[in-house]
Structure 1
């Protein structure tokens, strides 16, 4: 009431100017200061009387013409569509989630996975508030399996964080609890060459690009054409480690779990592998961490023999020597060799990582965020490992959209070491998105402070990567209707 009396007294002392009086005009703006002050006071008084002391209604009225990107509590999902990109460096289905307020969230199904893994979730998402990320994740996580089967759930989770960040106008890492670092270190695969001289040239290029952490592939595939290197390999397509379409007399090598091939490496073969790694190490030097991956399908005994042979070269880690779910075998290997062991790129969810961590079976974890559960679940995995004193490297082989999801998660997780980058040599890779330029600078990515993931799809460039025969974000009404009960308990 005192405020109203004060305003009335002020108005009496400052009457509106008469026609004969000279208004006070501000030269720079042309504004009549007396009328402006008087009208402002009257406006405030009228608001107070109109809304009878309800400040929230006053604020709504005062700001009704202020542009808003979003009202988070009223945000709803209205559509989900997918466009499949090819050669980034592999196939990557890009998810677009639309909302009732015009905000768009971007996500990505893991490389090599079906876009249907995401599309079948659409009926579970329509009408939901994307800011309730963890709640929605718990509702859809039952539709995720390990490796590529988790691609839909994880890709949707990325897009939800993108939307939540945009709705609240904060970067995704802030919603995960804040950041531990401003720059994210990348590690790059070592490009292969026809000989060591060509390989050395590639390594000089990597160093010039600024990468301070590298990874190489070597394994029994490189021994397959030389007699006396392998035992029991003739009946397997050893050089076809990833080609699961090629059958063989003994079965499909790519789909046969490591212990069941019974392939062994001779002493000559192990010496050859050691010589190869030694040459690579000489080229790279010992100042740069060098890790290794893709060894082939053999048993735990051979894994230990190879691991011991690699010890002089101080590799950063040996990756996926046996399948991730053989916890006891991983412990055997880790206990027997001094080079750090690492696995995890095909694991979905914290539960299976906990088994490996609690058993002291591996020295490092290696989740792929597009399989492990998305940003929040991967942070939880990293946090659990951190409490056990285990570092986390991160696997990644997709477009810049998925990379930025990894960047925010890595920024928010204390025990993070380095993030893989498979698209270093893909021409136009960085131009697939807008918002950050350059993305990678001297082997590091600066953590963006823009809302959500910090990037938007550059449709003009991204369309150049569109998979042959695929449609650009085609309508998906066929996935609108939910046709099953999802409850997992009775």
Structure 2
């Protein structure tokens, strides 16, 4: 028999429930109470139009798609993870990496609860590798934190343990110029933009066309440090590890680098931290010579003088010079950072969150370094989606120093997302308090950056089926 409204209150219904039902609309009650005493179903029906962020325990991943943006400042595949409750999570594969690194993980994600971030990460991390090969795992991890934050209605940093700071300091690359006068103008521009931490590039590439500067350089394509398409007489310079080129810098070459950095230091002044990167491919001895030559200019750090995996060589360099040494933008997971830190091989670490393992793994890396007295700067060269992942991690990590911003001069960069305007204010980013990463993709603007010939979050059903056993043990 159908219960009446009066008989319900005459029964043992609790005061709290009575008060709730009394405040509810009678139209809903007349239907909800027809469920014949099934109180859970009644409450579900009555509250079906009540606004809620999510039912986190019931959240499931239903789809993953990608759209590849170009010129932000490089290529950046954006990940969209959909759920059964309408929540969408945004992530980003590292700049220059293939979207397939993420898509091949889709079959491992479907049907899973994205709020179980660490559990899913441990299941998929075997499919990541150093540098760009980590991009899929890290991009998915970003999107999972975005979803978890939205499900629980808290910012991502809160799920990482809370924040140490409200603002994140950025460091900006110094714009290049053919003349020192042009460089001075570019530096004025950076100051007007409010940046209080700068980075410059200098190295053997700028000496390659000048006589008497380098030894053994004529048969290498020294100016093509990143372009691996050109072969020289001795091999492919871009893909030859530093110790094996046998290129050396002469005294004349060192003097030229000293003059260059000295003039730049005069322009920048000594109040502003100035770091340096992109030196070229040479051995540990040359790295030490350059490091010693730079000591009068009190640079914030010398970055990636040799490949990160030469731990002993990094220790040689760090022990020999007074300028801080730094590496790490291509390291995947905490274990290889721990090797460098425990060996006292470097003075600072420099993870790229889109390669190092995502938000939680990067925080673990930073926390380990902090216990050993090592500061953490962060490398970044992507869209605002990835930047916001970095912002939350930096906020939650005590030993953070500064985050790179490689897209300062990309027109329309901040408009790629909504939810935060402006993103950068005088060289800092305010840590957002909105759920998840705190921003949403602005599709109208982002489509303007779509890679030529690319598709806009097209169906990816071909990646739905898992076709391999994943267990790493027997």
TM over 0.5, shorter chain: yes
Report the 3-state secondary structure (helix = DSSP H, G, I; strand = E; otherwise coil) of the residue aligned with 2:53. Answer: coil
Q: Which residue of 1 aligns with 2:15?
A: none
- Provide TM-score, normalisation by structure 2: 0.93
The answer (yes or no) to whether the contact 2:53–2:152 under 8 Å persists in 1 is no
Q: Which residue of 2 aligns with 1:371?
A: 355
Q: Quick one: distance in 1 between partners of 2:276 and 2:346?
A: 15
* Match for residue 358 of structure 1 among 324, 327, 342: 342
Q: Deviations over 1:145-200 (max 9, x none)?
A: 10000000000000000000001110000000000000000000000011000000
1:439 aligns with 2:423: yes
- Provide TM-score, normalisation by structure 1: 0.90
1:344 aligns with 2:328: yes
* Match for residue 444 of structure 2 among 442, 446, 460: 460
**CA deviation after TM superposition for structure 1 residue 245, in Å:** 1.3
Q: Deviations over 1:21-63 (max 9, x none)?
A: xxxxxxxxxxxxxxx89999xx8xx98x9769x7x77764653
Q: Which residue of 2 aligns with 1:103?
A: 87
Q: Quick one: distance in 1 between partners of 2:173 and 2:153?
A: 35
* Match for residue 372 of structure 2 among 388, 392, 395: 388
1:175 aligns with 2:172: no
Q: Which residue of 2 aligns with 1:31?
A: none
Q: Quick one: distance in 2 between partners of 1:73 and 1:354?
A: 35
**CA deviation after TM superposition for structure 1 residue 67, in Å:** 2.2
The answer (yes or no) to whether the contact 1:345–1:367 under 8 Å persists in 2 is yes
* Match for residue 407 of structure 2 among 390, 406, 423: 423
Q: Which residue of 2 aligns with 1:398?
A: 382
Report the 3-state secondary structure (helix = DSSP H, G, I; strand = E; otherwise coil) of the residue aligned with 1:165. Answer: helix
Alignment of 1:4-19 (within 5 A): none
Q: CA RMSD in A?
A: 2.2
Q: Quick one: distance in 1 between partners of 2:134 and 2:452?
A: 24
Which protein shows a greater Rg?
Answer: 1
Q: Which residue of 2 aligns with 1:265?
A: 249
Q: Which residue of 1 aligns with 2:217?
A: 233
The answer (yes or no) to whether the contact 1:349–1:377 under 8 Å persists in 2 is yes
Q: Which residue of 1 aligns with 2:309?
A: 325
1:220 aligns with 2:239: no
| Structure-2 change in CA distance of 1:261 and 1:78 (3 Å) | same
Q: Which residue of 2 aligns with 1:289?
A: 273
Q: Quick one: distance in 1 between partners of 2:365 and 2:24?
A: 61
Q: Quick one: distance in 1 between partners of 2:54 and 2:171?
A: 37
Q: Which runs of 5+ in 2 are unaligned?
A: 1-5, 11-21
1:280 aligns with 2:287: no
Q: Quick one: distance in 2 between partners of 1:167 and 1:415?
A: 29
1:81 aligns with 2:65: yes
Report the 3-state secondary structure (helix = DSSP H, G, I; strand = E; otherwise coil) of the residue aligned with 1:259. Answer: helix
Q: Quick one: distance in 2 between partners of 1:207 and 1:325?
A: 36
1:134 aligns with 2:118: yes
Q: Which residue of 2 aligns with 1:13?
A: none
Q: Which residue of 2 aligns with 1:187?
A: 171
